[in-house]
Amino acid sequence: MNRSKTLVIALGGNAITRDSEEGFIEQQFANTRRALKSVATLAAEGFNIALTHGNGPQVGNYLIRIEESRHLVPPLPLNIIVADLQGGMGYMLQQTLQNQLWSRRIQRQVITVVTQVLVDKNDPSMTNPTKFVGPAFPEDAVPKLQKERGWQMKEDVGRGWRRVVPSPHPLAIIERDIIRELVHSGIIAIACGGGGIPVIETENGQHEGVEGVIDKDLASAVLAGAIEADALYILTAVERVALNYATPEQVELSSMTLADARKWLADGQFPPGSMGPKIEAAIQFIEQGGRECVITSTEKLLEAIQGKTGTRITA
């Protein structure tokens, strides 16, 4: 096995639950099988791999279930929801990838690590949350929800009023040492699901979960640095990053330097709700010593590995 190439591959939650589908488990398994074919090929070729994944659609569905059943059972905080989804989605990814490897007679193990991610209790987003989660409510229901549940709510234009929660910047992966050991021993580790469970460090040095969600791509960059990965691959819906996206002046990029990435991000080319965090993750990974970050679509992962497509960000 070639142990000289270690990859962190960040898979979007929309690759598992698609916008056009109801989200039944059978659909999620089918989508997972399609999404992991390329990962299985890379595993068969001997790459060391840590696989991360988003959970946006899944968190939304989970919160709807909580709203519909809160008169029957106690509601759960977001940190527990993220932990639950790490287990459930990790099970789907782990079983699917293990089956694909076994079908190729590849003897490699796959494990899911329930991952905690350290955040700063004084992160600005803690007092000014902006991340929308859960279902939408009519405006006349907002005062009661804010009073009874202590929620902060804002208008999600076109959808209604929704709860907003902190999205603090990830600082460190609590389980980084064991993940590094697993990956460099050839075991494929599924980690940082949904960006990881946000935790703060208390005054006595212990960890405590907090309400909030962490950006999956930023957490993946922190993980990639912590396990000394050679490359970070961020999979999304587009094959390449583009300037002037969705305009007549759109230009797709096959590569960009760190300086380019910083400039175009500052110029507003990459919006906060879509490509922005991915470019931020690329910048962070390269700044902390990573060789390259590649952004491409899930379907084009193998071609991107071969240098045929994707947007490659380097120092």
Q: DSSP labels for 200-246?
A: EE-TTS-EEE-S----HHHHHHHHHHHTT-SEEEEEESSSSEEESTT
Integer Cα distance of 290 and 282 in angstroms: 9
Of these residues, 55, 131, 194, 300, which one is catalytic?
131
Of these residues, 54, 55, 79, 278, which one is catalytic?
278
Integer Cα distance of 220 and 203 in angstroms: 27
Q: Indicate the CATH number for domain 6-121+169-314.
A: 3.40.1160.10
Q: Compute the average pLDDT of residues 173-185.
A: 98
Q: Compute the average pLDDT of residues 179-203.
A: 97
Query: What does the block give as tokens for 132?
Result: 């929308």
Domain boundaries, the chain: 6-121+169-314, 130-165
Integer Cα distance of 160 and 141 in angstroms: 11
Residue linked to tokens 């993220």 = 82
Residue linked to tokens 């990639």 = 224
Q: How confident is the model at residue 4 (pLDDT cuts 50, 70, 90)?
A: low
Of these residues, 12, 13, 90, 196, which one is catalytic?
13
Q: Which residues of 168-191 are buried (b: 16+ CB within 10 A; e: fewer)?
A: bbbeebbbbeebbebbeebbbbbb
5 carries an active-site annotation: no
147 carries an active-site annotation: no
Q: How confident is the model at residue 269 (pLDDT cuts 50, 70, 90)?
A: very high
For residue 260, pLDDT over 50 is answered with yes
pTM here is 0.94
**Each residue of 96-142: pLDDT tens digit?**
999 999 999 999 999 999 999 999 999 999 999 988 988 889 999 99
121 carries an active-site annotation: no
Q: Compute the average pLDDT of residues 7-33.
A: 89
Of these residues, 90, 134, 216, 310, which one is catalytic?
216
Please provide the average confidence, as pLDDT, over all residues in the chain.
94
216 carries an active-site annotation: yes
